[in-house]
Structure 1
Amino acid sequence: MVGLHIDLNGEALDRLSERFALDERQLQAAYSRALKRTAGTLRSMSSKGLKGLLGLRNTKRLRRRIKTRRARGDGSGAAFEIWYGQNDWPAEDFKGRPTESGAGVQFLGHSFEGAFIGRLSGTRTILRRKTARSHPIERVLMPVKDRMDVYLEDEVFDQAEEIFMRHFEAEIRARALFGIGAR
């Protein structure tokens, strides 16, 4: 779970509210909606960037591993959390073709000793025997946590504050221009 804290400049917020003549309730509604839109934008950026970075075949499993929710707290909806499932993934989710060698399988720069290529539920994947017997077998999992952490911190979360401010300013403009939430 990644908790993202955005520091807002109070003077900038005051200037925006004075410039567009919004009351406190409209400002709070704009703030809340901008946070929600920021969370969605960060989630979308994460999904698109991680698909390419990790070399995934599709984003189905990735989308299930990124969840956004409002943080618990004072009930104002003034915070959100983004959860990233970073445990290891099955090899069949990644682009590429594994190659067998005498010692095991090579795939995307990783070497899996004692592994072999087989089919599990009709899908070609890398498997490994759990014991010396022929069964049980297990899927080989690829590590993703380190690459995900580096990408998220360097590419996505660095832009969070400016994304929020862009959404916040757009919300304030819309509320002032169209009278949304005015009494």
Structure 2
Amino acid sequence: MVAPDVMAFADRKTDGAYDVTEPSGTVVARIHVPLWSGSSFTATTAAGEPLCAGRRAGFFTTTWQATDPGGRFLGSVRSGFLSPKVVTLADGRTLSLRGELWRRDWSLLDVEGHSVLSSTPTTSSWSFRPDAWLVRCHDLSLDLDEVVAVVQLNRMMVKAARSSD
């Protein structure tokens, strides 16, 4: 399923899930995060069909990975100590995720430095929902499951880093 070129990722649950919507408000995906864990998620389409799932790759690792409904590798996000996050997609592409924790906006760049995805916050920095983002997809070859996986893995990494400070 092709990803819309602009999507809003909510940081407030509606009926137990975070909605991903088009600018018109139409829900395109729903992200479910267990109450007891901030280290895994499942996502469905608006119709409730499985889309993808993700989790931390291990307890002491800085790599988070996602799979499609069949369990096949969809992508991963790995953080470095002093380097940008590295995103690896199933097709073999390696991308760089650049952004700052306190600015809350970020960009996913290809090896030539072209923007693949970009994000801006939709709430103020002092909000109780600081990880609500408007995401623009500049590479229309990305599927909805890939975009949802990368955005949600990054959001989980940001929240984990923020809670460990």
Tell me the TM-score normalized by structure 2: 0.30
Higher relative contact order (CA 8 A, sep 6+): 1
Q: Which has the larger radius of gyration?
A: 1
Report the structure, 1 or 2, having the larger strand content.
Answer: 2
Q: TM-score, normalised by structure 1?
A: 0.28
- Which structure has more helix as a fraction of its residues? 1
